[in-house]
Structures are given as C-alpha cells and as structure tokens.
Amino acid sequence: MLSDEQLAAFRVELERQLEALAAQDAATAESRRPVELDQQSTGRLTRMDALQQQAMAKAAEQRRRAAAGRIRAALQRLDDDAYGDCVRCGEEIPIARLRLDPATAVCVPCLESDDG
Ligand SMILES: [Zn+2]
C-alpha cells in the first residue's frame, strides 16, 4: 500500500507533468498553423520543409494528448483511491515502476501479456 505522503508526491508529479505538456503545447501552437501559400517569400523547398515541420508538430501534439490522457486517468485513480493498482488485474504496481512512470496504469506482467 502507498502511504498518503507517497500518494501526494505522485499527485504533485502528475500535475507537474500535465503542466509541462500544456506548456509545450502552447509553445508549439505556432508551428501547427496552416502553412501559408506565399510563393514570394517561400520557395518550394522551404514550403515542403514547412509542411514537414507542421506534420511533425502535429504528431508531437498527438503524443502529448495521449500522454495527457494517461496522466488525467492516473489523477482520476488518485481521486478514486485506486492509484497504484493495476487496472487490468488489480495487483499493486511496484512503487519503483510508478516512480519511473507515475501515469502507468498496468503492472509489468499485464503490460507484457499485452505485447504478446
Ligand atoms: Zn496487472
């Protein structure tokens, strides 16, 4: 069982990670804007670069969204007094694993059975 202090520390860490994701999202919002069709100021190669960068920024945004979703789910488990239990089998997730990734939802055996 996790102590109240440990649970509080995980909550702080999860909220910190969520804020960091939001900050990254705000910082890269500009690069996700539609690429403008301005042939005078941007040559063809530059425009392709811009499109590629935009695609990468969008992919990064999707990863951040997925990560934020995991973190919000973990915060919800904290609220539900279910944090630290594997959502699949209900076993306690070792604290070392939670420290590595506080948003983790499943234990290692369940994760591995998922892959195979
Ligand atoms: Zn499990």
Report CA(19)–ligand 1 centroid distance (Å): 28
Distance 86 CA to ligand 1 centre (A): 5
Q: Ligand 1: distance of its center to the CA of 53 in Å?
A: 39
The answer to whether residue 106 is domain-embedded is no
Q: Is residue 111 part of a domain?
A: no
Residue 116 lies in a domain: no
* Residue 95 resides in a domain: no
pLDDT digits (tens, 9 = 90+) for 17-73: 999 999 998 888 777 677 666 555 556 678 888 889 889 989 999 999 999 999 999
Q: Is residue 10 part of a domain?
A: yes
Q: Answer yes or no: is 67 within a domain.
A: yes
Q: Which domain holds residue 29?
A: 4-83
CA–CA gap between residue 89 and residue 110 (Å, rounded):
7
The overall pTM is greater than 0.85: no
3-27 pLDDT, tens digit each: 999 999 999 999 999 999 999 988 8
pLDDT at position 54, please?
Answer: 87
Q: Are 28 and 60 in contact (CB under 8 A)?
A: yes
What is the CA(113)–ligand 1 centre distance, in A?
9
- Would you say residue 86 has pLDDT above 90? yes
How far is the CA of 3 from the CAs of 9, 96, 104, in angstroms? 10, 14, 18
- What is the number of structural domains in the chain? 1
Asked, for residue 66, whether it belongs to a domain, the answer is: yes
Give the position of tokens 């509080």: 8
Q: How far is CA 12 from CA 2, 23, 47, 86, 100, in A?
A: 15, 16, 42, 20, 14
